[in-house]
Amino acid sequence: MRNTVRLNDGLKASLVEILGDRLNLSTAICERHGKGESHHPAMPPEAVAFVRSTEEVSAVMKLCYEHECPVVPFGAGTSLEGHVAAVAGGVCIDLSEMASILDVSDEDLDCRVQAGVTRKQINHHLRDMGLFFPIDPGADASLGGMAATRASGTNAVRYGTMRDNVLGLTVVLPDGEIMRTGGRARKSSAGYDLTRLMVGSEGTLGIITELQLRLYGIPEAISSAVCSFPNLESAVDAVMLIVQTGIPVARIELLDDVQMDAVNKYSKLSYPVVPTLFFEFHGTENGVVEQAELVGEIVKEYGGGDFQWASKQEDRNKLWQARHDAYYAGINLRSDCEGWPTDVCVPVSKLSECILRTRKLIDDAGLVAPIIGHVGDGNFHVLFIVDPASAEEMEKASRVNQDMVDMAISFGGTCTGEHGVGMGKKKYLVKEHGDNAVAVMRKIKQALDPKGLMNPGKVIPEV
C-alpha cells in the first residue's frame, strides 16, 4: 500500500489561481497520468497541472515545495519502467502544452525548444530547412522526457544518445528556482557539467522545461536494407564485425525469428521468419554505395542473404514504422496478455553471448518473448508477453529478467541501455555502480531535493 499525500484545500486553491481549469482532478485524467507503457501498475496522482511556461512550472513547484506535496513530471507517457507512477500521490505536472519551437539556427546547427515538443514535431518543422534531429526511440516521445530518461534508439550507433545531443537545459528545481545549464558552444571546460547531471535524472532532481539541441543536415543519400540470417548467432556475429570494422552505418537493428513473425503479422509484411537485420546507410551517393558493399561482404561471410532494398522514402518509412511498431506487434502475439519490456546493454564483444544465453533462458522458461535490439551499440530488448493474472508467468519473467541483468552487469554492461531506471530497475543500481557511487547519487538527490518531493520512489534505491 502506498502512502499517498492528499492535496489540502489551500494548495488546491492556490494552484487554481495560477492555472484555472488547467488544474484537473478528474479520475480519468489522473488515471491516465499514473501509468506509462509498461507492466507496472497504475498509480494516479491527486491532480494534474497542465502548464504552459517555465514560469508556471516554477510557480507550481514553489507552492508544492511550501506544502510539501510530491510532484511527478509527465511528457508523453511513453516511459517503460514506471517513471510516471505517482508512488506518493501529489501533483502530476503535464508539459505537453509546452510545445513551442523557440529558435532554430541553421548556421550553427542547433535549436531551442520547449520540453513538450515531440521528436516527430521537431523533424517536421526542420525538414524544409534540410535539417533533422536524429534521436529516435520509436515512440513519438516528448524531447523533455527523452532528455530526462537519456533516451537513444535506432540512430544511436551513428549519432549518439540524448546525452550527446543536448547542449543546454532550462530546469525548474524542487524549490521552484529556475536554473539554466550549458549553452550553444560545442564544448566547454567551465564548472560542473550540470546539463549531463540533469539528462537521465528522470525527474528526480528537477523538471526540464526547455532544451538546446544539436541538429544535423539531412544526408544527401539514405538507403535501407533488410537481410535474413540462418540463425541468431550468425546475425549477431555479423554485427560485431561490422562495428569493429568501423563502417559508419546509421542504424543496425536485430529482430529475432519471434519478433519477425510478430512484425509480419502486425504490419502485413512477408519477410522470412528468421533472425533479421535492418540496416540504414547515410551519406553521399557514393558513400552509401560503398558502405552497403562493405556490409554486404561481411553479412555473406556469416550466411546472410541478399539485401532487400528500401531506397524510396515511402518504402523506408514503411520499414521503420514496422520496426517502431514492434512493441504492439509483440503484444499482438497473445490475446488478453500484456507486454513487459526490458533492456540491457553490453560491450559489443559480449553481445553474441549475452543474446544467445538470454534466448535460452526465455525458451527454457517456456515464455513468449521476442528479442529486438539496437545491436550496433550493444543494446537489446526483450518483450515478455505475459498473462498478468498468472503468478507463475510473472514469476518466470521476473526470474529471466533478473538473470539477464545479472549477466549484462557481469559482462561490464548495464541494467538498462535506454529505458531508464524508474521503479523497475533501481534494485540493480548498487550491483552495477557499487555502494559508494550510489551513496554519492543519494547525496546529490538530498542536496537538490531535501524534502524528497521530486518523483519519489524512482532511481535511487531506499537505504
pLDDT in tens, the chain (463 residues): 456 667 899 999 999 999 999 999 999 999 999 999 888 889 999 999 999 999 999 999 999 999 999 999 999 999 999 999 999 999 999 999 999 999 999 999 999 999 999 999 999 999 999 999 999 998 899 999 999 999 998 999 999 999 999 999 999 999 999 999 999 998 999 999 999 999 999 999 999 999 999 999 999 999 999 999 999 999 999 999 999 999 999 999 999 999 999 999 999 999 999 999 999 999 999 999 999 999 999 999 999 999 998 878 888 889 999 998 999 999 999 998 999 999 999 999 999 999 999 999 999 999 999 999 988 899 999 999 999 999 999 999 999 999 999 999 999 999 999 999 999 999 999 999 999 999 999 999 999 999 999 999 999 998 6
Query: By CB neighbour count within 10 A (0-12 exposed, 13-18 middle, 19+ buried), where does 160 fall?
Result: middle
Q: What share of the chain is helix, strand, coil (3-state, %, to 5)?
A: 40, 20, 40
Q: What pLDDT does 3 receive?
A: 61
Angle 179-180-182 (CA atoms, 0-180°, nearest 5)? 140
Task: Write down the pTM of the prediction.
Answer: 0.94
Name which of 109, 111, 108, 132 is nearest 282 in CA terms: 132
Q: How far apart are CA 423 and CA 416, in angstroms?
A: 12
Q: Collapse the DSSP code of 372 into the 3-class scheme (helix H, G, I; strand E, B; otherwise coil) and give the result.
A: strand
Q: What pLDDT does 310 receive?
A: 84
Q: What pLDDT does 463 receive?
A: 67
Q: What pLDDT does 1 receive?
A: 41
Q: What pLDDT does 138 receive?
A: 82
CA distances (Å), 101 to each of 83, 116, 118, in order? 25, 10, 10
Assigned C-alpha cell, 260: 519477425
Span 352-362, pLDDT tens digits = 999 999 999 99
Pairing state of beta strands 47-50 and 221-228? unpaired
Assigned C-alpha cell, 411: 559482462
Residues 257 and 363: beta-carbon distance below 8 Å: no
CA distances (Å), 180 to each of 118, 199, 365, in order? 21, 13, 49
Q: Which residues of 247-337 form beta strands (DSSP E)?
A: 251-255, 276-283, 308-310
